[in-house]
Each structure stands twice: as structure tokens, then as C-alpha cells.
Structure 1
Amino acid sequence: MASAVKELQKDLEEVKVLLEKATRKRVRDTLIAEKSKIETEVKNKTQQKSPRKAELDNEKPAAVVAPITTGYTVKISNYGWDQSDKFVKIYITLTGVQHVPTENVQVHFTERSFDLLVKNLNGKNYSMIVNNLLKPISVEGSSKKVKTDTVIILCRKKAENTRWDYLTQVEKKCKEKEKPSYDTETDPSEGLMNVLKKIYEDGDDDMKRTINKAWVQSRENQAKGETEF
């Protein structure tokens, strides 16, 4: 019995090594399935104790193979999102996430935030925290779904049938700062100057030289026109 368990544990270690090196999805899925199968075999064989052994162990539960210890936590920065009348949906791609236990995928909601933690996925933890959501959400009505290679966060809108132009308040402020001023109640030339200023600040050296040249030429033409008049 001990010899069989030992051989299975060697197989398990080799599968783990191959899993760390594999990059192709099909190969990784096959290795993950094989790893789960071997772990189950090890667990079953370890639990096959004689009555005398169980008595000596004072009815302690049979030893099980310890899960892979996680090395570090990866911060999730890439995601996509869309919305319906009732929900804002955030899509996070995590290869193989459908194979981890349900309790390893945890999401905590507040009225203006959520944080996702996926534990022990291929030896790593994955974390995503989103604060300052654009609008309030219903904590009780929000949830998560695990699909193939994807976690979907479902934030229930507190006010249904309202549109979210951005996911967070921070994103909204950043986007609004980038917009040039087109105030129709002010001098139209002032709005143009704001646009040119924005282009100048964001442009490379060639762009800045071109704008400077055009500005000088415009001033010269303006001065020439005033002289002729």
C-alpha cells in the first residue's frame, strides 16, 4: 500500500512540473485533469486503513495530499465589461479557473466596490479590487459566475435602466480631463486654442515644431494684414 501511494505521489510531482511548463490550453487542461485524478487515487489509497490502524490513530481522519502551496498573488489588471438594464458585467479571463473548487473563487461586494480572490489556481492566487464604482450597486443582488477560463462578476444596478458610461468614478474623471473645451458661450478662438494646447502638450518634437511654425506664420500673416489695412 505504502509503495503504491509513493509511486502515485511521484507521478503527481511530475505532472505538477509539466503543468508549470505547459502553455497550450489543451495540454494544460489535460494535465489539470490528470493531476486531479492522481490526487483522488492518492487520497483513496491513504484512507484504506486497517481497523487496528484506525484505532491507534484515535479515529483521526485519514491523511490527504496537501494542496499545492501558492507562491504569490497576481494582481488582475485586464478585464472587459458591458451592461444590461439590470446588471454591470465584468469579465476576467483566467485559464483553467473552472477546475478549482467553488469555494476558491470568492467575491466580496459593497455598495461602491467589489474584490475578487481566486485561490490556488495553478499554484497562484489571483486578486482584483475595484473601488469607487460609478454608481451604487445592490450587494444582495450581485453575484459571480465561473465559466470555462472566465470569471464573470455581476453587479446588480441599484437604479435599473440607467446607463453607466464608465465603470468607476476615477475612470470618469480621467476621461473628462482628456476632453478639450468646446464652450460655445466663449470666444470660438479660445476653444481652438485649448485644442491646439492639448495637441501640443501630447505631441512629439516634430508635432511641436509644426505647431510653433504654424503659429508664427499665422501671427506674421495677421500683422501683415493689419499693416495693409
Structure 2
Amino acid sequence: MTVQRIDLNSDLGESLGTWELGNDEAMLDIVTSANVACGFHAGDSLTLMRTCAQAAERGVVVGAQVGYRDLAGFGRRFIDMDPDELTADVVYQIGALEAMCRVAGVRVEYVKPHGALYNAIVQHEEQASAVVAAVVAIDPSLHVMGLPGSAFLRLAEEAGLSTVAEAFADRAYTPEGHLVSRREPGAVLHDPETVAARMVRLATEGRITAIDGTEIEVRADSICTHGDSPGAVEMARALRTALTGAGIEIAAFAR
């Protein structure tokens, strides 16, 4: 089944002080939605303010990329948190980014968990529920983005939230439709042509080849291409060109 339109998103605003990560301005010329860090796993206040302003200038939708309080580990380490504490942390992060958006003349439109939190709430019911509770508490009109089939999206739908199913252009999949751990070889893909071709197939056929060769069905409203990967800009450009060449409109889901 061919989709008529799809969103492109990227993780942005992740530079911290003198540590620069990715080329946010170039990525903002390509994607339609920006998952902007909120200062817990990455990003500082000036970086977040500038990223929101640059997204606003280009008409790119802004989402809050929330994560564990883990700057040293870039939010890629699981933290066994009290659910109430996790809910409060997510509310705090959304609120911080909303303030930056307000200055830029836009608003936070959606919430996407980052890193270890994203992966945890695929199956971790308690933490998934805690993140859902945070979104409901701060603004039930917000969309939430996550992995298709995850506990997070299921609980979000049950709570009445609008959900966005996401696929990853540059990540390998398990036969179960989960992301292969970054600790495993072949977990991250780097060839722009390969990445573009597999995402065109995803959009036109709803299928993708897992790391073991298994053919799996994957539904996606949005495709993520990571802004911190080597050659990220070239990969994102190749992806957008291939999708539009296949007759698929690139547009933000939140419009």
C-alpha cells in the first residue's frame, strides 16, 4: 500500500556548550519536523533557543525530544525511575522547550522520547504510562511519536492522544520490528542510496528487510533520519529526493 504523503523528522538541538553535534541548519532545510532536545540528554539553553528560531523561520514543526536526565550518556542508558519522577521530568522538559518556542513565535506540536527512554517504553508499561501521563497533564492536544506496536503508542491511544508511527531510515530492525541495539554490528546504516531505497519500499509497500533477512511489515507516518550520524545531511537529502521521485509528498503530520 503506497502512502500519499509522509513526514521527515530529525533529532536536532543536541549541541552542548563548545561540543557541536550535527548540522542543524542544513537538516532544517530538508526535514518537516524537528525533534528538539530539551536539555536532559543534550542541548543547552542557547542551542535550544536558536534551533526553535531556525525551525520557525523555515516552517518546520517543532517537537519536544524528551529523555532521561543523562547528559554524560547522551540519554542512551536506561534509568529505572519512579514513575512519578519520570512524569515530572517529562513535564519539565516539554515546558522548557515550549518557552523557547514561544519566544520564536511557534509552539511544541508533539513529543518524541529519545534514546534509551524511547526503546524502554516499547515494552516497559510503567514508564510508557508515566510518559503518557506527562503529555496528558501538560497538553492533551499534543501528538506523540513512537515505534509502531509499542506499549507507548497503545497507552497513548487509550488516553485519547493523537499518535504518530515512526520508522527509522538509518537503523536496522529486528524480526520483531524493534530497533537493533546500537551495541550490535550493523545496527546503524550509513549508505545514502541503501537507506533511500529501503524507505521508498517502506512507503510504497509497507515492508522492510530485518537484519536477519526477514521481511516485516512496518507502518509509518514519519521517517527519522538522525542528525548526528556521519553524512547525515547527504543521507537526508538522498532520502527526500528518492521519496519525492516515487511520487510521495513530504509534509509535516502536524499541519
Q: What TM-score, normalized to structure 1? A: 0.24
Larger Rg: 1
Compare relative contact order (CA 8 Å, sep 6+) and give the higher one, 1 or 2.
Answer: 2
Higher strand share: 1
- Structure holding more helix per residue: 1
